[in-house]
Amino acid sequence: MQKQKLIKLIEPDLGNDELSEIRQVFKSGILTRGPKVEQFETLVGKFVGAKYALATTSATTALHLALAALGIGPGDEVLVPDYTFPATANVVVQLGAIPVLVDIDLDTFTIDLKDLEKKITKRSKAIMPVHAFGLSADMNPVNVLAKKHHLFVVEDAACALGTTYYGKRCGNLSDIGCFSFHPRKAITTGEGGMITTNSKRLADQMSLLRNHGGLRKNGRFTFLAAGYNYRLSDIQAAVGVAQMHKLPDILRKRTKRAQDLYTALKDIDGISLPNIPPWKGHVFQSFVILLDMKYNRDTVIENMKKKNIETTLGTYALHDQPFFMKQYGYKASDLKKSHYVYKHALTLPLYAQMTKQDINRIVVGLAESLKE
């Protein structure tokens, strides 16, 4: 029997628009710190509604810069949801601070507010809520807690370009927002990231640290800090500019495809579909469902693979990872809800160009895979 075509988790929408933007950069000969980077920053800043936007090489370097600019360092504690990509906590470790892992809310996969409050101490300096899979964390209570305890808030908005919280764009709901343009995201520059903020002081500090800690005046640098090189190139920014023009259309199509998945999956037993909380605004960077306890999620992934349909886990429970266990003494399943979602969440394919036939194959494939 002929194998059906591979349905991938995501297919970036890249083509002639991106090539023509790249051509402009090649013609100009300005490959870094040039006008394309500025154009990309302006587009993202305007879209998010933030006064300042700084392009970086990834969301990881964006998060690192953000914490460095806030002065996070040895002895400080930063509250991070346990269920996230390790980058969120790794940057805390890299600055010599301690990531305090907080359990998540089972309905939204975002930071659990009760556990968050419990884990605030005198050493706490910042909270890093993650907008999981394109759904905002419950930011109003997070900001209230932050104000009460004099903490900074840095949004890990890696998966949340376009996500809204009660109508306001993520990345503009706290001190600093950090986005990713990795190919698994709605728009991509291959690798890339962006920082957004409304604070001139923080923008200036992050800009300085992004460029080796050097301040340029009259064509010369004076080095004021031991900074980094976290600059995005103009070639990547050119791709980003073309992608930003497509973003509204990509988000509209992805949301529509997500609705199609909801409708098509609603009668399948043994799964929970993504919840939409009162603040709404989910952009479905990933369409993540939860399997009932009786299923082995990894077997389902293998069964789907045999049908040539790519699926994967949601993301990681950090306290279950060897580094965090060894370094901070966590034991597997210490954070119960995060552990459960780590073991039972399944990401289904979702991309703008997905057809009705693709959706049908995913749904039939999933129903069969749960039985096999």
Which residues bind to ligand PLP, rule: CB under 6 A? 58-60, 84-85, 87-88, 130, 156, 158-159, 180, 182, 193
Active site residues: 185
Between 95 and 359, name the residue whose CB sits nearer to ligand PLP. Answer: 95
State in angstroms the smallest separation of the CB of 79 from ligand PLP.
15
Report phi then psi at 27, rounded to 5: -65, -40
361-365, long-range: CB < 8 A, 24+ apart:
361/4, 361/7, 361/307, 361/309, 362/7, 362/261, 362/264, 362/309, 363/261, 363/264, 363/265, 363/268, 365/303, 365/304, 365/307, 365/309
DSSP string, 250-271: HHHHHHHHHHHHHHHHTT-TTE
Residue (156 or 260) nearer to ligand PLP, CB: 156
Which C-beta is closer to ligand PLP: that of 24 or that of 321? Answer: 321
| Sign of the dihedral through C-alpha 151, 228, 202, 51 | negative
- Least separation, in Å, of the C-beta of 194 and ligand PLP? 10
Supply the minimum distance, in Å, between the C-beta of residue 134 and ligand PLP: 10
Of 304 and 318, nearer to ligand PLP (C-beta) is 318
Distances 79 to 121, 152, 188, 233 between C-alpha atoms, Å: 10, 10, 28, 32
CB nearer to ligand PLP: give 137 or 208: 137
Contact 215, 222 (CB under 8 A): yes
Cα distance between residue 187 and residue 51, in whole Å:
21
Candidates 161, 98, 81; CA nearest to 339 is 81
Work out how close the CB of 318 gets to ligand PLP at its nearest, in angstroms, rounded to a whole number: 11
CB of 72 to ligand PLP, least distance (A): 16
